[in-house]
Amino acid sequence: MSNQIPTPSLKRIPMYYRELKRAMENGTNFVNSTQLGEALGIPSTQVRKDLSYISEQGRPGVGYNTATLTNTLEKYLGLHLPKKAVLAGVGNLANALIHFPGFHLYGIDICLLFDNDPEKIGKTLADKEIHHIDEIGLLLKKVKVSIGIITTPAVSAQSVAQKMIAGGITSIWNFSPITLLCPGNIFVLNQDLSMEMAILSHSVINMTNLD
């Protein structure tokens, strides 16, 4: 029963959530599928369809109660639950991520940092000590961590992933430019920014090519 929501729909749920939070801030008590859709560039039918996978809380003639729906989506996405993460590869990207307010807002706590550069071991970033990657197994025995963030160069990524998985991590956010080979029960979210950059490049070419 748990997973018959289509992947494209699932990926839109966070957008609805983001928009609902904004509606909350504006003091809007009810939103309808047309309003949500227009704010996000999505047809209202699709909004209703997507939400129907999760809730049944819309009121015909009225719309969705902002607070109730926000809460439902928050629960569905698990944002209300505290989740621990570790990060490996302490470079500029790691620095940006660790200061990113989103983690805290979405219930994710980056509690451990790792690197393999002797220069960095023992130093801190955002008040968190940087450990040697070889210590990850030992340290993960002490805390239950579900999320691993990989911001290492390509060459280290696969071995880091394996160490994380050995330590009990089940979800990986992979910023490195490599396809990780992982067991099927591990959730891998790939985020190689170069891939997006290439699409951006393509868009520039095609802009000038036509219309």
Partner DNA sequence: TAGATTGTTAATCGATTAACAATC
**Which of DNA, a second copy, none does residue 33 bind to, with CB < 5 to 8 Å depending on kind?**
DNA
Tally of CB atoms within 10 A around 41: 7
Cα(7)–Cα(14) distance, rounded to whole angstroms? 12
49, two tokens:
């369809």
Indicate which of DNA, a second copy, none lies near residue 44 (CB less than 5 to 8 Å, by partner kind).
Answer: DNA
Residue 32, contacted partner among a second copy, DNA, none, CB below 5-8 A by kind: DNA
Q: Assess contact for 91 and 150: CB atoms under 8 A.
A: no
60 binds DNA (CB under 7 A): yes
What is the rounded CA–CA span in Å between residue 92 and residue 118? 17
**Residue ranges in 15-54 that form contacts with a second copy under rule CB under 8 A:** 15, 17-19, 39-41
155 binds a second copy (CB under 8 A): no
Using CA atoms, how far apart are residues 22 and 25, in angstroms rounded to an integer?
5
Return the beta strands (E) in 89-185 as ranges. 108-115, 124-125, 128-132, 147-150, 171-174
**Contact positions vs DNA (CB under 7 A):** 6-9, 32-34, 43-46, 48-49, 51-52, 55-64
**Contact positions vs a second copy (CB under 8 A):** 2-3, 10-11, 13-15, 17-19, 39-41, 76-79, 81, 83, 91-93, 95-97, 99-100, 102-103, 105-108, 146-147, 170-171, 173, 177, 179, 185, 187, 189, 191-211
